[in-house]
Amino acid sequence: MILSILLFLILLLGTSIHSKFDFMNFAVNFAYSLFVSFLFFRSMKTKKISQCRSVLFILLSVFFILCFKIIFTSFFTPYCHIAMSSNLIRFIYNAFSDWKVQLGILWLIVTLGIGQAWCSWICFFGGIDEFFSKLLPRPILKVRRLPTFWANFSLGLLLFLFLVSFIDDKSTFCIWFCPLKMTTAFCDSTNMTARTIQIVLLFSLGTSLLVFLPLMTKKRTFCGVFCPFGAWQSLAGRISPFHVKIESQKCGKCDICMDICSLFAIGEKDNEYTILSNCTKCGMCIDQCPDNAITINHPKYFLFSCYLISGAMGASFIPKFIVNCIEKLFL
Amino acid sequence: MTEVIINGVMLGLSTGISCLGYCSPLFVPYLLSEKTEFKTNVLRVSEFLSGRLLAYILWGFMIGKFSDYIESDYMKKVSVYAILFSSILLITYGMMKNFPQLKFCQKLEHTKGIHRFPLLLGITVGLNICPPFVMGISYLLNVGKVRESMIFFIFFFLGTSVYMIPYIFLNLFSSIERIQYVARVTAIVSGVWFFIYAITLSGW
């Protein structure tokens, strides 16, 4: 309860400082902070992580798409974290301008705190993926494990993007692979052959990885198979103090965790189940395990950190977006 | 002649890091995809560099002999076909490593010349015109002599090869099995991307 109140106060203070001091802004900030704190409180009370997380996660994505992709309010488009991982070299040798340094520091703080939980608590791509993976009650195509090639695809793509960043001063991921690029301007030349190939590639990646495959398999295929930032976080995120583990003495090998894990993050080694490095700490396996064999260390502080960071990210645009909508529609 | 040698070496040393950047997306996946001893790795890198040297000597000869007739379109076409061939080589190699159970890949494994992969890659990469190369060509179009052009490119090659030394130590990373699997995926991704890149350059 105390942590919930603390979370509420921090979010309310943070949102109030960064918005106009009037009744409408205060009311929206209050409602938003209360909503996030309530989700945290409910998670703590029910001892279930994933359900409330899912609600916040998907809402973040929905609002992100409405805010920055559907032109309704004139917001600036934020710098995408996915481009950051593969352009590290450019960041270092020619991009030490203020805001990129701030972004790098922000990334470091979040990674030190919650590691790869970014992928299941904050990332808007992940929210889209998660939304479609939860639509159907049962998978049409059952996939429990990935073949070696696909299991290493995201890391392979990250390595490629890292190598090609030496020769291309633009973000190769954004120009050639990002599904959401369909809705924004292209930043490279107007070569029609290139543009045609880009549009075909972006459209097919977007529809298959973000919509159809999650719908059919109930797995987050963009995040689990493709995303280079996820691959980057699976390496960098090890510095986080929070880890999920399976207690082999309690584990009944019922395979429920393998079926439920949407990111193929549970593996088998020497006849024991293990949590792999690409685990995004979504909590689905923890909630579903009938033997209570899967746990996360310091769950209270983990949940508080996740709701705080996630809530703060949402607070940077959701209340402002809602206020703008109200003003445009009713005033 | 001294001026040609000094210009070649200096251009190579000053722009060689760019050459490293252009070669890496094609060559690094190959180097990381198999566990090898240091000596074997040195041989593979030497084979790659030999391919580059052959390509540079060929360019030197063509520019020296035909400088009055060479147009930028012709050079661009050579570059496009070189990138295309490099990408096909890399995709083929990636397929062989990732899907060895496929009959097509098994046939390829026994094809004559497939194990000269570093040499073939070096030749195609060397034929591709990267920005430092363009500067060299611009200088040589004014010189217009075969011997001087070839010598220029030999010393340009030596200057750029200094930056290729780190490649010989990549076997330290390729001893990790996970990195091998990742590099094999990168080989295919890199090959496909360069294939698309070549098509966009060609304007087909």
Q: pLDDT for B162-201, tens place per residue? A: 999 999 999 999 989 999 999 999 999 999 999 998 988 8
Give the number of other Cβ atoms within 10 Å of residue B121's Cβ. Answer: 24
Q: Write out B84-115 in H/E/C secondary structure.
A: HHHHHHHHHHHHHHHCCCCHHHHHHHCCCCHH
Please count the CA atoms within 13 angstroms of the CA of B23 that sit on its side-chain side. 29
Q: Which of A32-36, B98-102, B126-130 has the highest mean pLDDT?
A: A32-36
Task: State yes or no: pLDDT of B145 exceeds 80.
Answer: no
Q: Which pair of structure tokens corresponds to residue B65?
A: 């002999």
CB < 8 Å to B178, chain A: 152
The whole-angstrom distance between A189's CA and the closest CA on chain B is 11
Q: Which residue of B has its CA nearest to A190?
A: B200
The whole-angstrom distance between B14's CA and the closest CA on chain A is 16
Q: Which pair of structure tokens corresponds to residue A321?
A: 């977006």
CB < 8 Å to B192, chain A: none
**Taking a contact as any Cβ pair under 8 Å apart, which residues of chain B between 109 and 148 contact chain A?**
130
> How many Å apart are CA A36 and CA A52, to the nearest integer?
9
Tens-level pLDDT at each residue, chain A (331 residues): 888 999 988 888 888 887 767 788 888 889 999 999 999 999 999 988 999 999 999 999 888 888 876 655 555 556 677 766 666 655 555 555 555 666 677 778 888 888 889 999 988 889 999 999 999 998 999 888 889 999 999 999 999 988 888 777 677 888 888 877 766 656 566 678 888 888 888 888 888 998 999 999 999 999 999 998 888 888 888 888 999 999 988 888 888 999 999 999 998 888 889 999 889 999 999 999 999 999 998 999 999 999 999 998 888 888 888 888 888 777 6
The whole-angstrom distance between B2's CA and the closest CA on chain A is 32
The whole-angstrom distance between A318's CA and the closest CA on chain B is 37
| Burial per residue of B97-112, b for 16 or more beta-carbon CB atoms within 10 angstroms, e otherwise | bbeeeeeebeeeeeee
Across B43-48, average pLDDT = 93
Beta-carbon separation of B190 and A153 below 8 A: no
CB < 8 Å to A155, chain B: 182, 185
CB < 8 Å to A149, chain B: 98-99, 184-185
The whole-angstrom distance between B118's CA and the closest CA on chain A is 18
Q: Are B4 and B144 in contact (CB under 8 A)?
A: no
Distance, CA of A7 to chain centre? 21
pLDDT class for B142, splitting at 50, 70, 90? confident
Report pTM. 0.90
pLDDT of residue A83: 66
Beta-carbon separation of B193 and A164 below 8 A: yes
Q: Which pair of structure tokens corresponds to residue A124?
A: 């808007």
Q: B131 vs A112, which has greater pLDDT?
A: A112
Beta-carbon separation of A152 and B203 below 8 A: no
Chain A contact present for B24, CB below 8 A: yes
Kindly report, residue by residue over B16-26, the tens digit of the pLDDT: 888 888 889 99
Beta-carbon separation of B99 and A149 below 8 A: yes
A281: Cβ–Cβ under 8 A, 6 or more apart, which residues? A114, A115, A116, A117, A120, A121, A242, A244, A296, A302, A306
From residue B119, how far is each of A218, A302, B27, B44, B46 by CA, in Å?
A: 46, 53, 11, 8, 9
Residue A269 pairs in a beta bridge with A272
Mean pLDDT of chain B: 86
Greatest Cα pair distance, chain B, in angstroms, is: 55
pLDDT of residue A189: 62
CB < 8 Å to B186, chain A: 156-157, 159-160, 163
- Facing residue for B21 by CB, picked from A152, A153, A167: A167
Task: State yes or no: pLDDT of B43 exceeds 90.
Answer: yes
- Choose, out of A154, A157, A167, the residue to mutate when testing the contact with B (most B CBs < 10 Å): A167
Q: Which residue of B has its CA nearest to A176?
A: B193
- Choose, out of B32, B200, B201, the residue to mutate when testing the contact with A (most A CBs < 10 Å): B200
Q: Which residue of B has its CA nearest to A158?
A: B186
What values do phi and psi take at A244, rounded to 5?
A: -95, 140
CB < 8 Å to B28, chain A: 163
CB < 8 Å to B24, chain A: 163, 166
Q: Are A11 and A315 in contact (CB under 8 A)?
A: yes
pLDDT of residue A36: 93
Kindly report, residue by residue over B50-87, the tens digit of the pLDDT: 999 999 888 888 887 776 666 667 777 888 888 999 99
